[in-house]
C-alpha cells in the first residue's frame, strides 16, 4: 500500500496474509519500538477483522507478524518479523472484531537455556557465538576480558545481560548491548562510539524533509529531560567502593571505578552526591573471573549513569537512522529558527526509536541520550 503520497510502500502480514488484501479487514495503526535499555524490539498492531476470520484463521501465541516498509527516496528497505505475544483486547462491533495485538521480535531462541552458549574466551566471543548460532547480523567490539563464561540458570537474553555487565576493554570502557529491529546484535563500547566517530556524522535539523541535505535528518518538535537523579539511584550512585574476597591471594580486595571520559562541557553530577550508595560484598573470586570482572561491573554502571540528558525528537518521517548511531542534534525553537540552546545541543547516541504507522503516515519518535550539557559558560569537570 502507498503511504504519505507514495513516499513509502507499506505491507503488513499476519500469518502470511497481507492485511491490505484481506476482504473486509481494516488496518488502524501499528507501532514498532526498539531501545538499548529494553534490548528486545516489540510491536503493536490494531486491526478490525470480520468475526468469521477468527474461525478460519487462528491468531495464536507465536503467530508471525511482518512489517515491510520501503522507500526508495529515503533509502529504506526493511522487513521486520515479530511473533504474537498477547492479544490485549478483542472488542465487538456488529459482525466485526477489533483486535489490539502485542508482538516481540522473532527471536524465541533468547528464552532457551543459555548453557548452550558457554564459552572460554572474551565477552565479545560470547556475543559473536550467539550471533553466528542464530544467524543474526552483528556489530561487536572486541573486548579484553578472557575467562570461562557460564550461563548457569539463565536463558540466552539473561546471559547476555550478565556478560555485558561484566564486559571490559580498558579503564574507560562502558559496554552496551541490544537487538535492533533488523535483528542486528550490537555489543559496543559507548566510550569508543563517541571517541572514534566519523567527522561527518548525521545531523538532526529542524526543517522540512524536502530541503534536507546529505547527512541530515529532519525533525519537527524537540523536547528534553535531564534524568540525573534517576540514573544515580538506579546505578547505586556514581562512585564508591565495593569489596570481594580473593581466594588466590586470600585477601579482601576493594574495587572502585575512578575514570569517566567527558564528552560534554558539563556532566550532570554534583560533587556532594558523587559517591556510592550501596556497600556490596561480591561473591568470592576463586580464580574463574577475568582480572577486571568486578571493576567492569562498577565501571560500566558508573559511566552509563553519567549519560542522563535525553532528547526526544518527533520526526514527521521515518528515515534511515538506526539504534546505537552517533548523531548531532540542535535544540531549536520552531517559533524562532535563529535561536537555539547551546547547552542542550550537541552529540548523542540514538538509544530508542518508536516507529508509528497509520494508513496515511509513517512517523518516528527518536530518543537521543548524551552525557551532559554544553553551555558556553560552564566548564568540563569529571567527578
pLDDT in tens, 160-198: 999 999 999 999 999 999 999 999 999 999 999 998 887
Compute the distance between CA of residue 358 and CA of residue 19 in angstroms, rounded to an integer. Answer: 13
Cell of 281: 560484598
pLDDT per residue over 305-316, tens digit each? 888 889 999 999
Query: What does the pLDDT look like over 128-166, one tens digit per residue?
Result: 999 999 999 999 999 999 999 999 999 999 999 999 999
Lowest mean pLDDT among 60-64, 81-85, 270-274: 270-274
Pairing label, strands 26-35, 17-18: unpaired
- Give the DSSP letter of residue 250: T
Q: Give per-residue pLDDT as tens, 200-242.
A: 899 998 888 877 888 899 999 999 888 877 766 666 666 667 7
- Write out the residue limits of the CATH 3.55.50 domain(s) in the chain: 109-192
The helix/strand/coil state of 64 is strand
Higher per-residue confidence, 267 vs 382: 267
pTM of the model: 0.90
CATH class of 199-227+308-373: mainly beta
Scanning 134-259, the segments in alpha helix (DSSP H) are 156-165, 190-195, 228-234
C-alpha span between 188 and 180 (Å, rounded): 13
* CATH, domain 2-106, list 3.90.25, 2.60.40, 2.40.128, 2.40.30: 2.40.30
pLDDT at residue 210, as a whole number? 79
Class of domain 109-192: alpha beta
Regarding predicted confidence, which is higher, 244 or 63?
Answer: 63
Under a CB-based contact definition with an 8 Å cutoff, are residues 8 and 68 in contact?
A: no
Count of CB atoms situated within 10 Å of the CB of 170: 13
Which residues lie below 8 Å from residue 14, measured CB to CB, with a gap of 6+?
Answer: 45, 47, 57, 59, 63, 64, 65
Report whether pLDDT(124) > 50. yes
Question: What DSSP string runs through 313-379?
Answer: EEESS--S--TT-EEEEEEE-TT-TT-EEEEEEEEEEEEEEEEEE-SS-EEEEEEEEESEE--TT--
Centre a 10 Å sphere on the Cβ of residue 283 and count the other Cβ atoms it contains.
9
Cα(53)–Cα(45) distance, rounded to whole angstroms?
16
95 against 256, higher pLDDT? 95
* CATH 2.40.30 residue spans of the chain: 2-106, 199-227+308-373
Amino acid at each position: 500500500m502507498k503511504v504519505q503520497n507514495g513516499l513509502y510502500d507499506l505491507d503488513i502480514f499476519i500469518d502470511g496474509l497481507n492485511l491490505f488484501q484481506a476482504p473486509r479487514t481494516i488496518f488502524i495503526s501499528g507501532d514498532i519500538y526498539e531501545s538499548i535499555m529494553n534490548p528486545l524490539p516489540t510491536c503493536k498492531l490494531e486491526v478490525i477483522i470480520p468475526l468469521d476470520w477468527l474461525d478460519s484463521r487462528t491468531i495464536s501465541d507465536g503467530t508471525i507478524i511482518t512489517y515491510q516498509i520501503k522507500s526508495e527516496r529515503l533509502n529504506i528497505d526493511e522487513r521486520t518479523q515479530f511473533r504474537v505475544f498477547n492479544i490485549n483486547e478483542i472488542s465487538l462491533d456488529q459482525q466485526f472484531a477489533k483486535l489490539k495485538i502485542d508482538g516481540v521480535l522473532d527471536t524465541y531462541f533468547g528464552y532457551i537455556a543459555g548453557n548452550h552458549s558457554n564459552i572460554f574466551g572474551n565477552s565479545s566471543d560470547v556475543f559473536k557465538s550467539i550471533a553466528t548460532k542464530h544467524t543474526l547480523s552483528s556489530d561487536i567490539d572486541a573486548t579484553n576480558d578472557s575467562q570461562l563464561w557460564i550461563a548457569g540458570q539463565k536463558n540466552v537474553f539473561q546471559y547476555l545481560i550478565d556478560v555485558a555487565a561484566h564486559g571490559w576493554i580498558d579503564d574507560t570502557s562502558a559496554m552496551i548491548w541490544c537487538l535492533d529491529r533488523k535483528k542486528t546484535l550490537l555489543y559496543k563500547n559507548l566510550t569508543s562510539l563517541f571517541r572514534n566517530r566519523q567527522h561527518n556524522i548525521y545531523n538532526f535539523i529542524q526543517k522540512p524533509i524536502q530541503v534536507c541535505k546529505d547527512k541530515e535528518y529532519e525533525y519537527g518538535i524537540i523536547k528534553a529531560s535531564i534524568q540525573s537523579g534517576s540514573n544515580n539511584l538506579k546505578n547505586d550512585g556514581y562512585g564508591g567502593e565495593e569489596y570481594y574476597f580473593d581466594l588466590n591471594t586470600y585477601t579482601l580486595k576493594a574495587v572502585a571505578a575512578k575514570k569517566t571520559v567527558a564528552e560534554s562541557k558539563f556532566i550532570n553530577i554534583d560533587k556532594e552526591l558523587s559517591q556510592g550508595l550501596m556497600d556490596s560484598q561480591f561473591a568470592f573470586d576463586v580464580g574463574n573471573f577475568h582480572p577486571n570482572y568486578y571493576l567492569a561491573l562498577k565501571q560500566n554502571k558508573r559511566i552509563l549513569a553519567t549519560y542522563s540528558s535525553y532528547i526526544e525528537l518527533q520526526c514527521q518521517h521515518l528515515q534511515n537512522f538506526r539504534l546505537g548511531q552517533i548523531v548531532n542534534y540542535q535544540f531549536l525553537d520552531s517559533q524562532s529558527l535563529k535561536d537555539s540552546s547551546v547547552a542542550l545541543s550537541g552529540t548523542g547516541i540514538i538509544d530508542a526509536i518508536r516507529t508509528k504507522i497509520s494508513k496515511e503516515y509513517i512517523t518516528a519518535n527518536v530518543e537521543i541520550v548524551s552525557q551532559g550539557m554544553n553551555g558556553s559558560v560552564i566548564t568540563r569537570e569529571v567527578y
